């Protein structure tokens, strides 16, 4: 190197540091790149995306070239610096120590830390263009990489480490949920809510979404015919469950519109009514919601009756009830006797019916009442109190304060809910 001028040797040092920094920034950017995003970019034909995807499919060769180049350059730089120091200052131990320290500082700052921070911050902007340079280097240095990897694979074999097993990892539901929660502004709020609700479908059953037995609108076939006609003309639904005497003795499902058409033609009799009934579709209690949605698709059914192990009717579930778990309520239902959709009043209170399902209450008022036990507010309060209260009783469940306003010998009918302190802060703080 003595035949080269000093300025050329110093320039060579900075060029080598730049090349070392290139390998460092490329390594970090490649490893930090989002594989799903990369696949999308490759399908869209983005510059360098397919090349980067190909390189990441051969990580042993990719890392081999990057690390060989990086370490080779980091070895040459101190040798070159030492040669310059000896030529300029002679064999002075203090000068050699200072030169070694300066070179170590330059390598750490300019060839390692700074490039890797930048690579981790902007992986997509760096990895894709860098792949265009690294791809031909892999072809040129393939024999060297193969030779070095022989020793690496031998060590991995001795340690019983399988490098192919990690590539088949799948994200769990909770990991996917965490990704959606951390998506921030990348996913619209409504879409994020639907995705989170979709994950919940695997953990809930038809018992959580069904219309309970007490809230079902059903028709008694043994009732006076005038009462039957009146109920048909004033019912809230297009389909009615028809039973005989006892609601557990279901005869079938009645299509109200077809029945009213027969009524207008003066052809409706009790016998005609029986002929219009369709066979009821029963599902066992505890059936997973996602599985039941598939059953609805396969059987072309729109109404399912949920029965327990004793064959007793517990409730009714429709595809709309399941879809409401995903996107919120959108169907028309019977007006609630207690607690309209007005939500919290100015005092931070809300009066609701004791029969309201807990999942619906949580979704409506943004509460966190437990849903792994009883399905209704009445059931949760009775489980907590272990008795039916005779008068006004206040209870706290988690961070929610509840006051029983009305009850009878059978159940708690009306409850006042107090807004938790965490919800007192305005929910929408966007500017």
**Contact predicate 244/222, CB 8 Å:** yes
- Please give the pLDDT value at position 34: 84
What percentage of the chain exceeds 70 in pLDDT? 90
The answer to whether residues 318 and 222 belong to one domain is yes
241: pLDDT confidence band, cut at 50, 70 and 90? very high
Rounded-to-integer distance, Cα 24 and Cα 16, Å: 12
- Please give the pLDDT value at position 21: 92
Residues composing the chain: 431
- Please give the pLDDT value at position 304: 93
Q: Please classify residue 243 by burial: count the beta carbons closer than 10 Å to its beta carbon, then call 0-12 exposed, 13-18 middle and 19+ buried.
A: buried
- Please give the pLDDT value at position 330: 62
197 occurs within a structural domain: no
Instruction: Provide the CATH number for the domain around residue 277.
Output: 3.10.580.10
Highest mean pLDDT among 92-106, 128-142, 225-239: 128-142
Q: Is the pLDDT of residue 422 over 80?
A: no
Q: Closest by alpha carbon to 119, among 70, 84, 68?
A: 70
Higher model confidence: residue 210 or residue 200?
Answer: 210
Residues 6+ apart with CB under 8 A from 120: 28, 29, 32
Rounded-to-integer distance, Cα 278 and Cα 252, Å: 5
Higher model confidence: residue 103 or residue 328?
Answer: 103
372: pLDDT confidence band, cut at 50, 70 and 90? confident
Q: What is the pLDDT of residues 18-39, one digit of tens each?
A: 999 999 999 999 999 888 888 8
Q: Is the pLDDT of residue 359 over 50?
A: yes
The answer to whether residues 216 and 320 belong to one domain is yes
179 occurs within a structural domain: no
Beta bridge partners of 415: 352, 404
- The residue to which tokens 């500017």 are assigned: 431
The answer to whether residues 315 and 376 belong to one domain is no
Q: Is the pLDDT of residue 426 over 50?
A: no
- Please give the pLDDT value at position 331: 54
- Please give the pLDDT value at position 3: 62
**Of 280, 297, 327, which residue is a domain's last?**
327
Rounded-to-integer distance, Cα 361 and Cα 369, Å: 8
- Domain, as residue range, for 155: 6-168
The answer to whether residues 47 and 96 belong to one domain is yes
| Beta strand spans in 156-255 (E) | 211-212, 218-220, 239-244, 246-255
Rounded-to-integer distance, Cα 345 and Cα 254, Å: 40
- Please give the pLDDT value at position 429: 40
281 occurs within a structural domain: yes
186 occurs within a structural domain: no
336: pLDDT confidence band, cut at 50, 70 and 90? very low
Q: Is the pLDDT of residue 172 over 90?
A: no
**Of 327, 358, 378, which residue is a domain's last?**
327
Rounded-to-integer distance, Cα 363 and Cα 329, Å: 10
The answer to whether residues 42 and 105 belong to one domain is yes
Q: Is the pLDDT of residue 334 over 50?
A: no
Which range has the worst mean pLDDT, 28-42, 91-105, 234-248, 295-309?
91-105
Which range has the worst mean pLDDT, 114-118, 169-173, 317-321, 389-393?
169-173
- Please give the pLDDT value at position 338: 42
The answer to whether residues 301 and 253 belong to one domain is yes
73 occurs within a structural domain: yes
1 occurs within a structural domain: no
**Contact predicate 19/73, CB 8 Å:** yes
- The CB density around residue 66, as the number of other CB atoms within 10 Å, is 23
The answer to whether residues 149 and 14 belong to one domain is yes
The answer to whether residues 320 and 354 belong to one domain is no
The answer to whether residues 10 and 153 belong to one domain is yes
The H-or-E segment that residue 97 falls in is: helix 93-106
253: pLDDT confidence band, cut at 50, 70 and 90? very high
The stretch 200-219 carries a mean pLDDT of 85
294 occurs within a structural domain: yes
Instruction: Provide the CATH number for the domain around residue 373.
Output: 3.30.465.10
Q: Is the pLDDT of residue 158 over 60?
A: yes
**Contact predicate 272/221, CB 8 Å:** no
Mean pLDDT (the chain, rounded): 83
- Please give the pLDDT value at position 233: 84
The answer to whether residues 246 and 286 belong to one domain is yes
95 occurs within a structural domain: yes
The answer to whether residues 90 and 43 belong to one domain is yes
Q: Is the pLDDT of residue 346 over 70?
A: yes
Q: Is the pLDDT of residue 424 over 70?
A: no
3: tokens are 């035949």
- Please give the pLDDT value at position 428: 42
| Pairing mode of beta strands 211-212, 282-284 | unpaired
Q: What does residue 168 show for φ and ψ, rounded to 5 degrees?
A: -95, 15
Q: Is the pLDDT of residue 362 over 90?
A: no
pTM recorded for the entire structure = 0.58
User: What DSSP character marks residue 167?
Assistant: G
Q: Is 203 strand, coil or helix? A: helix
The answer to whether residues 262 and 306 belong to one domain is yes
What percentage of the chain exceeds 90 in pLDDT? 20
- Please give the pLDDT value at position 423: 65
Compute CA distances 187 → 40, 112, 180, 182, whole Å. 16, 34, 8, 10
User: What DSSP character marks residue 223?
Assistant: S
Beta bridge partners of 397: 400
Q: How many domains does the chain have?
A: 3
């Amino acid at each position: 190197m003595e035949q080269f001028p000093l300025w050329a040797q110093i320039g060579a040092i900075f060029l080598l540091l730049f090349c070392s920094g290139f390998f460092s920034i490329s390594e970090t950017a490649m490893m930090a790149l989002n594989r799903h995003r990369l696949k999308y970019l490759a399908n869209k034909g983005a510059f360098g995306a397919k090349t980067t995807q190909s390189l990441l499919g051969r990580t042993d060769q990719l890392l081999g070239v990057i690390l060989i180049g990086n370490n080779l350059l980091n070895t040459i730089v101190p040798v070159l610096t030492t040669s310059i120091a000896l030529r300029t200052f002679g064999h002075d131990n203090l000068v050699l120590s200072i030169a070694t320290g300066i070179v170590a500082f330059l390598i750490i700052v300019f060839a390692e830390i700074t490039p890797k921070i930048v690579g981790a911050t902007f992986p997509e902007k760096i990895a894709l263009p860098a792949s265009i340079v690294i791809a031909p280097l892999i072809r040129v240095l393939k024999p060297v990489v193969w030779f070095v990897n022989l020793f690496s694979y031998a060590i991995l074999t001795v340690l019983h480490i399988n490098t192919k097993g990690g590539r088949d990892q799948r994200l769990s539901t909770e990991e996917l949920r965490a990704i959606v929660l951390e998506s921030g502004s990348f996913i619209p709020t409504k879409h994020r809510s639907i995705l989170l609700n979709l994950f919940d479908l695997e953990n809930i059953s038809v018992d959580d979404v069904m219309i309970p037995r007490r809230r079902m609108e059903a028709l008694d076939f043994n009732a006076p015919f005038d009462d039957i006609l009146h109920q048909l003309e004033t019912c809230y639904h297009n389909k009615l469950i028809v039973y005989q005497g006892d609601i557990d003795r279901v005869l079938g499902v009645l299509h109200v519109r077809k029945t009213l058409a027969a009524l207008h033609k003066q052809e409706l009799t009790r016998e005609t009514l029986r002929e219009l009934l369709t066979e009821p579709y029963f599902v066992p209690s505890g059936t997973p919601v996602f599985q039941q949605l598939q059953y609805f698709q396969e059987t072309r059914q729109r109404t399912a009756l949920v029965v327990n192990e004793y064959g007793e009717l517990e409730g009714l579930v429709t595809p709309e009830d399941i879809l409401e778990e995903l996107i919120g309520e959108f169907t028309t239902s019977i007006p609630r006797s207690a607690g309209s959709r007005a939500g919290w009043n100015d005092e931070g209170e809300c009066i609701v019916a004791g029969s309201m399902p807990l999942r619906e209450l949580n979704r409506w008022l943004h509460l966190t009442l437990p849903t792994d036990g009883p399905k209704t507010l009445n059931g949760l309060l009775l489980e907590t109190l272990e008795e039916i209260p005779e008068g006004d009783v206040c209870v706290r469940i988690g961070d929610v304060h509840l006051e029983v306003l009305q009850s009878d010998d059978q159940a708690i009918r009306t409850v006042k809910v107090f807004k938790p302190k965490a919800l007192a802060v305005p929910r929408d703080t966007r500017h």
